[in-house]
Chain A
Amino acid sequence: MNSSQAADVAPIRLEGIARDFSDGKVLRRVLKKLDLQIFSGELTVIAGPSGSGKTTLLTIMGFLLKPSEGRIFIQGREVTRFSSDRLATLRKQKIGFVFQQSVLVPALTVLDNVVLPFGVQGQPVPKPVKAKARELLEMLGLKQYAGAMPQQLSLGQQQRVAIVRALINDPPLLLCDEPTSALDAESSAIVLDTLKKLSQDPVRAVILVTHDPRVFPFADRLLKLEDGDIVYDSKLGRQGEQVS
């Protein structure tokens, strides 16, 4: 596969992405014209100190924040100028989120939370989707909690429910924001193992943002961000040098 073909099938590709924030007086550039291509079948870890811009990068990749400059491609198709409604639909179809805290809707049962991305735009949730949700819950050892409320689960269990929710629409891209930061060592290991396994699917890319070095060994690719710039990419080496 040549580089142009690879770019076309990449779950997400960023070109010259910059993001500015203003407090009304001072304009601050948080991301500095980044170019980045994510590959399927890999667990990409984005690391960096607080304020380096890693969460901003993740929100831009998840279309939750618009970049100030640059272009975004999803499977080779530019989506930068999509309306917010089209981006929402794209998010539903192409992206699964796992947040820092599980962020389940407390009013809904575990099963309802899991099928939420399917029905969030008003579609009825068919039985096969519910069956798939139960299967996924079983896969992560949560089958017996399908009818439980999120508050009845431990944080680790809630995070695994969030992973199941992220997978319900079979998205090619899984975005995880510090998914282990609120978990104990044992729960962290389970969650990371799960994400690692999911990333081995050749049609799926997993991106994990963290500042926890214990996560690095799970990475297929490690990116380091500092002051809004990628300063290290394990695929390319420091500042764009190809790593042999």
Chain B
Amino acid sequence: MRRRTGFKILRHDRSTTAGSVLGVVAIVFLVGQQLAILFGLFTYMSVLVDHSGADIWVLTRDVEDVNASGSLPVRYVDRIAALAEVEWVEPLVLGGGLFRSREGKVQPVQMVGLPRPRLENGPWRFSEGSLEVLLDTEGATVNNLDLKVLGTPGLFEFYEISGRRIRISAITRNIRGFAGTLVFTNIEKAREVSGLPPGRCSHIILKARPGSDVTAVASVVRTLLPATTVMTSPELSASTRRFYILDTGIGSSFGFSVVIAALVGIIIITLTMSMSVLNHRRDYAVLQALGGRKRDILVVVFWQALMIGLIGIFVGFLLLAGFLAGTRDSRLPSHMPLWFPPLHAGITLVLCLLGSTYAMRKAVRVEPASIFR
């Protein structure tokens, strides 16, 4: 009967209920959307590491972000290759370039130069073409999501990147980097574009032999090349994300947005639920006069808060699903790991109940004797 009463009061008081539900929807959608973008950025930040297939990365000393360009001698590759635990090792060039469109507009791109013929760390999803096209000396890829900003370049047409000729030989699908459009090409072309001299590379990647301890191999490489930074792929992925989150202000910016969204939601819930209790003061007095204890009144209001929370979470996640579906094939990064929705729903429900504690306090403080006034 208490739950039924709570539910009926909710249904009767539609506009106030809608207001409270809106508060929950605000929390679910705004917080979820901000975090989905942040998670999307996470995937962009370390996309090259996460899809590399390499176990260990060697970078220029003190560099902790995979997207930072650097300069290492390619001869290090031979020294690493001599280690028994290493299955393969390849140099890599990551560097910036300026793509000039047919109309003459310039757009910054991130070059990823792969050594032929292995083409390790190459693109993994294609809209058109395949990895082999990069064997061509001038072959390069662009991403389907960036076609518009690059002036809709045509397949097999020639363009310039930082004054160097390339040919669009393939179009990758939904592969974007944190620094913008990723253009995969061969290592020599990437070196030309980014101005790295012959015999130099920005990164070295290697695969440990199956069954060997990757951390131990990294440690051996670290000893072998003390003037470099050596990290396993998960370490570099985490380090890159940490760098952007902590050192670039992205973390505090998103954190602030999330906190504001949650606060706005809680304030809306608190105000609307309190307003509802105020509107139903007489009803709560009646319930107490008829034998309702304080805890019975709490159950009525708690049940309302729970219902509002569940409805709001459902609606919020519907909107969030719409947002994720709408941004799946767009340049706006969005990603929601599977562990996030239940956690987000749980926290939102707790916030909703916290927001309603003020209303609960007001409801139990209603004087039953006030019914006679």
Contacts and interface: CB of A to CB of B under 8 A. Distances in A.
25 contacts: A59-B369, A85-B293, A89-B293, A91-B289, A92-B290, A99-B289, A99-B371, A105-B9, A105-B287, A107-B11, A112-B5, A116-B287, A116-B290, A117-B290, A119-B2, A120-B2, A120-B287, A120-B291, A120-B296, A121-B292, A121-B296, A122-B1, A123-B1, A165-B290, A177-B372
Contacts of A88: 288, 291-293, 296
B12 A106 contact: yes
A147 to B, nearest CB: 13
B200 interface: no
A97 B288 CA distance: 11
B335 interface: no
Contact of B5 (A58, A62, A103, A116): A116
A64 interface: yes
A118 B1 contact: yes
Contacts of B165: none
B365 interface: no
B13 interface: yes
B13 A85 contact: no
B349 to A, nearest CB: 22
B interface majority secondary structure: helix
B315 interface: no
A107 B296 contact: no
A24 interface: no
Most buried by B among A116, A124, A177: A116
A194 B56 CA distance: 90
A114 to B, nearest CB: 11
Nearest to A88: B293
B296 to A, nearest CB: 5
Interface in B335-373: 367-369, 371-372
B12 A120 contact: no
Contacts of B288: 64, 88
Nearest to A63: B368
List the 3 shortest-distance A-B pairs measured between CB atoms, nearest first: A92-B291, A119-B1, A107-B12
Interface string B291-309: 1111110010000000000
A234 interface: no
Given A89-B293, A100-B372, A107-B280, 10 more contacts: A64-B368, A91-B290, A103-B282, A105-B286, A107-B9, A116-B287, A119-B1, A120-B1, A120-B292, A122-B2
Contacts of B296: 88, 120-122
A72 interface: no
B372 A107 contact: no
Interface in B1-39: 1-2, 4-5, 8-9, 11-13
Nearest to A100: B372
A104 to B, nearest CB: 8
Interface string A180-210: 0000000000000000000000000000000
B283 interface: yes
B294 A85 contact: yes
A99 B372 contact: yes
Contacts of A99: 289, 371-372
Most buried by A among B8, B13, B280, B292: B292
B291 A59 contact: no
Most buried by A among B2, B8, B372: B372
A210 to B, nearest CB: 13
Contacts of A118: 1
Nearest to B288: A88
Contact of A58 (B1, B9, B372): B372
A48 to B, nearest CB: 15
Contact of A89 (B2, B280, B291): B291
A102 to B, nearest CB: 10
A108 to B, nearest CB: 5
A228 to B, nearest CB: 16
Contacts of A7: none
Contacts of A116: 1, 5, 286-287, 290
Contacts of B293: 84-85, 88-89, 121
Interface in A31-76: 55, 58-59, 62, 64-65
